[in-house]
Amino acid sequence: MSTTADNLACSCIYCNAPQNRLLYPTRDMYGNNFTVRQCRQCETVFLWPPPTPQQLEQAYSETYYGQQEHKFNSLVERVVDYFRSRRAKIIGRWVSPPGRVLDIGCGNGRFLHYMQGLGNYETYGIELPGKAAERAAQIKGLILKQGKLENGDFPENFFDAVTLFHVFEHLDQPRQTLQIINKIVKPGGIAYISLPNIDSLQSRWFKGKWLHLDPPRHLFFLGPKNLQHQMKQLGFELAAERYFNPEYNPFGMQQSLLNLFLNKRDVLFEHLKGHHNYTKEYSPLNLFLQNLFFKSTFPLFVLSDALESLFKKGATVEMVFRKK
């Protein structure tokens, strides 16, 4: 590919620098084509061109918290709920009550609901207007802002913990968001960020077909080292990191392997979410076999995740940063 064409007026979503290089192409669920590029200045990997408002609207409304009341069928929803309660316990270990916790991109608010159950926590959530936010608004004691985090939403040094569970990569102004977080977290408080690991083996192997690339919803990726560096600039120190994650990583491997062989991406994932309109061109037998592959090889991929994680190459990463 020509490098001059690669450098057409596109700038990094994180630092705004104009120099970047093409990594690989990718295609979203609806057949829209994008490229994945890396900033030469700050090493952020980003989707280009940026998805249009219509593309984002379609991607969020149909397959996230969309038409259905729940994102998944009830069994999967129960498993997801288990992981939400586990996340609350993890935050509870870092911040003992009483404390103030803000969850950015709080979805239906279930994590904050579990937080309340652990003790005297004041819970705050931010979520874009929609079905998920409507559900969060019904949780007693949860203070919800429908919209985006903005300067002046909260006083300085206000929170003991600010959490972003697989939300950071969705933000359209990531640098500004980290700067606001830096203001509103107390000295000694924590910022907890989990995100896909762009430096993972899965990312390198599957490139544009990697499940956790998730175009067009994931707009950019900071590698773990890069995020540490950015947080350090703001005055946060890394307190813990974890790469092993049975909730996200084994399935990432399984779905990405299937993506190599199928025309459409993420068919099994959409099938499990009950998105029948998306999977209707696949026969019941085909979907059954994909499901069988998922169930029968899951333990194998938990094991491979454990190995990858030893080298910090797991498909997702959770990082806890402490403000000095």
In angstroms, give the least distance from the CB of 6 to Zn ion.
Answer: 15
* Burial environment of residue 243 by CB neighbours within 10 A (0 to 12, 13 to 18, 19 or more): buried
Q: Give 14 or 159: the residue with its C-beta nearer to Zn ion.
A: 14
In angstroms, give the least distance from the CB of 32 to Zn ion.
Answer: 23
Query: What are the structure tokens assigned to 257, written together?
Result: 């392997």
In angstroms, give the least distance from the CB of 298 to Zn ion.
Answer: 37
Q: Give 20 or 255: the residue with its C-beta nearer to Zn ion.
A: 20
Q: Give 15 or 238: the residue with its C-beta nearer to Zn ion.
A: 15
Give the N- to C-terminal CA distance of the chain in Å, as an integer: 45
Asked if 35 contacts 25 with a C-beta cutoff of 8 angstroms, the reply is yes
Residues 6+ apart with CB under 8 A from 173: none
Q: Give 220 or 294: the residue with its C-beta nearer to Zn ion.
A: 220
Strands 159-165 and 99-104, sheet pairing:
parallel
SS3 state at 134? helix
Query: What are the structure tokens assigned to 92, written together?
Result: 């509870």
Q: Give 41 or 176: the residue with its C-beta nearer to Zn ion.
A: 41
Q: Give 39 or 258: the residue with its C-beta nearer to Zn ion.
A: 39
In angstroms, give the least distance from the CB of 12 to Zn ion.
Answer: 3
Query: What are the structure tokens assigned to 49, written together?
Result: 């061109």
| Binding-site ranges for Zn ion (CB under 5 A) | 12, 14-15, 17, 39, 41-42, 44
In angstroms, give the least distance from the CB of 16 to Zn ion.
Answer: 7
Residue the block writes with tokens 């926590």 = 121
Q: Quick one: CA torsion of 36, 273, 85, 294, rounded to 10 degrees? A: -80
In angstroms, give the least distance from the CB of 220 to Zn ion.
Answer: 9
In angstroms, give the least distance from the CB of 117 to Zn ion.
Answer: 40
Residues 6+ apart with CB under 8 A from 150: 180
Task: Return the DSSP state at 320.
Answer: E
How wide is the angle at C-alpha 321 spanned by C-alphas 320 and 322, nearest 5°? 125
Q: Give 19 or 151: the residue with its C-beta nearer to Zn ion.
A: 19
- The whole-angstrom separation of Cα 311 and Cα 304 is 11
In angstroms, give the least distance from the CB of 14 to Zn ion.
Answer: 5
SS3 state at 99? strand
Q: Give 36 or 106: the residue with its C-beta nearer to Zn ion.
A: 36
Q: Which amino acid is at 106?
A: C
